[in-house]
Each structure stands twice: as structure tokens, then as C-alpha cells.
Amino acid sequence: MHENDISEGHEAEEYVGLVDFVAEGDEQRLHLEMLSDKPRTDTYRQVILSNSASLRGKVVMDLGCGTGVISLFCALLAQPAAVYAVEASSMAEHTEELVRQNGCEEVVTVFQDRAENLTLPGKVDVLVSEWMGNCLLFEYMLESVLLARDRWLKEGGMMWPSSACLTLVPCQAFSDYRQKMEFWEKPYGLDFSYLQSLAQKEFLSKPKFSHHLLTEDCLSTPADVITLDMVTIQVSDLERLKGEFSFSVEKSGMFHGFTVWFSAHFQSLEEDGPSLELNTGPYSEITHWKQTLFMLDAPVTVEEGDKIVGSIRLQRNPIWRRHMTVTFSWNINGTEVSTVQTKYFPMWR
């Protein structure tokens, strides 16, 4: 396969031989979902393509490589000295076959190992990974990336993404509220309001993954509340991250909750080269992550010009290390401590 064959916007499935890959089980379905996520996959392809000259002769690590699509991009779009494709799961066996199928076995070496136990031939110039989860950190693959960074990335080496941001907006969610709460008021002409408190506990205490926020349901301009610099952030920093927000309501409506998403930023290897961004928000092309909705216990009517001020905290679970609790504290047009509302959302799979 020639470089031009995969630099003209072809679908990712074509150039990793996905047609010949038989997917079985949850893990394979997940990889199919990620490969089918064109904004995600194309962003990584564009990062490699736009840095192809600078990657020549470099050593690259693709951590958590899955099917190896990023490793294959590196091998076919640039001329790296070597690509180390690292995958802890049994998927690594399929990745090796995909590497051979695409004629990249002289450049790409697959390592089936965890980041904590990994042994490589030497240090790398670039560490690339797609580690982001819902609400940016969920499942905490980032810890493995940072451990690999500290052990295997050369001094002055590049991390891709080089930074990431968590973005937040107060929002309306009429459809979800009707479905989860208002339904119980008079279903089929019967009074089932007794079950509303149970529904509130069951549905409103959990975040809604894969939420598709409509731009017209944003009550304010979104704001970045937490930014991670991938060069300086430490594993210990992941235990607790906090961001502050202050929103001015731009249109009157019903404040049902907060919607959260993330963006990942890719710095160029060239000093004056262009940086690229993968944005998973409602103003960008939809990704498999979509957004995450956190609903209040009861909606609040807000007017244009109102202020919603507060904070978001991401607290890693001390025992179940892939999980976390997201805590919102906020008030509306208030300065008294007594007006501050707080709600906790455990994030589990």
C-alpha cells in the first residue's frame, strides 16, 4: 500500500484490512466502534500526516494500540525508525496479523504487555495514545500513559495528545426529564407520582453516557474547566482534579443540569507547525463518546443574564481505581454559602 492510498480521506476500515477482521465479543465490538468513529480516527491520521517529515527516523510508541491503526498510520504515512505498538489485551494477536497484512512488520513491533511491566528496546521520541474516556478521565487509562511517559519517553520527547481539556455547559434536557420523571405523573391516566422519588434516585443520581446535546439546549457559552498538560501532569494529580466555572445565562430557559465533554490537542513537532484538535462537543462532528449529562434533582427556571457559579471535582475511587465520583457545587445569583447546591455522581460501568 502506498502513502497516497491513505492520505486522500479513505475510511479507516479500508487501510487496516477491517474487512478481513472477524470481530467477536465486547472487546472487538469496542474496536469496531472506535475505528468507525471517523472524527477520532481521522484526527490521529491527520496528526501523523501533518508531522510525517518530522517523524522520519524517529521511534514512536503507540500505547494501548488496539487494532494498531495509529501504528499503521505512522508506518505508512511517515518513515519512522520503529513503531512500538503496545497492547495488554489478547487483541495484540490480531494486531500482529493486521501489521503483517499491511506490510508493516519491518517497522511495527507489537508488544503484548501492560505499561507497568513493559520492556522496550530503548526510549522513544514520541508517545501517542488514545486514552480519553467519558468526562475525560473515566477508566483512568491516563495513568498507564503517564507511567510509560516517565519510563520510556526521551527528554524533550512529544506526547500526543499534548494536552486535553474538560469542557462544561449548563443545559436544558427536556426529553430526558420527561422520559425519566414526568412520565410517572399520569401514565395511561393513572397517578403513579408515588414512583417519582424512586425514579429520581435511580435515574437522576447517575450520569447519562452517550448523551447527544443539541446546541440549542446550551444555556451559556461552554467553558473549559480543567486542562491537563501531558508533559507536566503526574499520576498523583489524578486522585483529585477541580475546576471552577462562572456562566452567564444567554437565554431564558429551564436549567436541567450540566453537560460535559472533552477536547484533545496535538502539538506539532515543528516549532511553527499547526496544532490539531479532537473535540467531542456538540459544536463538532459527533464521536462515539458523544457527551455526558449530569441532571439536577429538580429543574430550575433561569432568565437571561442570570449567573451560575460553582465548581466541578473529579475524585478517583480509592478502591475501584477505574471509577470516580463527579461532584458539582453551584449557586444561581447568590453569594451566601447557604445558597450553594451540591450533587455527587458516582461514575461506574
**Grid cell of 253 as nine digits:** 430557559
Cα–Cα separations (whole angstroms), residue 79 to 60, 72, 75, 101: 11, 11, 6, 18
DSSP secondary structure string for all residues of 64-101: T-TT-HHHHHHHHHS--SEEEEE--STHHHHHHHHHHH
Answer yes or no: are the C-beta atoms of 107 and 82 closer than 8 Å: yes
Would residue 139 show up in a list of annotated catalytic residues for this protein? yes
Q: At 15, which amino acid appears? A: Y
Catalytic residue of the set 87, 96, 130, 143: 130
> Rounded to whole angstroms, what are the CA distances from 174 to 72, 158, 299?
44, 44, 9
Active site (annotated) includes residue 250: no
**Residue tagged active-site, from 139, 143, 185, 285:** 139
Is the alpha carbon torsion for 288, 294, 295, 297 positive or negative? positive
Closest CA to 59 of 42, 38, 74: 74
Query: Phi and psi of 173, rounded to 5°?
Result: -150, 60
Eight-state DSSP code of residue 59: E
Please spell the DSSP secondary structure of 247-266, one letter per residue. EE--S-EEEEEEEEEEEEEE
Cβ-based neighbours of 338, under 8 Å, separated by 6 or more? none
38 burial level (CB within 10 Å; 0-12, 13-18, 19+): middle
Task: Specify the DSSP class assigned to residue 147.
Answer: H
Angle (CA) 102 65 121, round 5°: 90
Calculate helix-pair angle for 25-36, 38-50, nearest 10 degrees: 60
* R_g of the chain computed on alpha carbons: 22
CA atoms of 146 and 238, how far apart (whole Å): 10
Q: Give the integer Cα–Cα distance in Å for 272 and 52.
A: 15
Residues annotated catalytic, as ranges: 130, 139
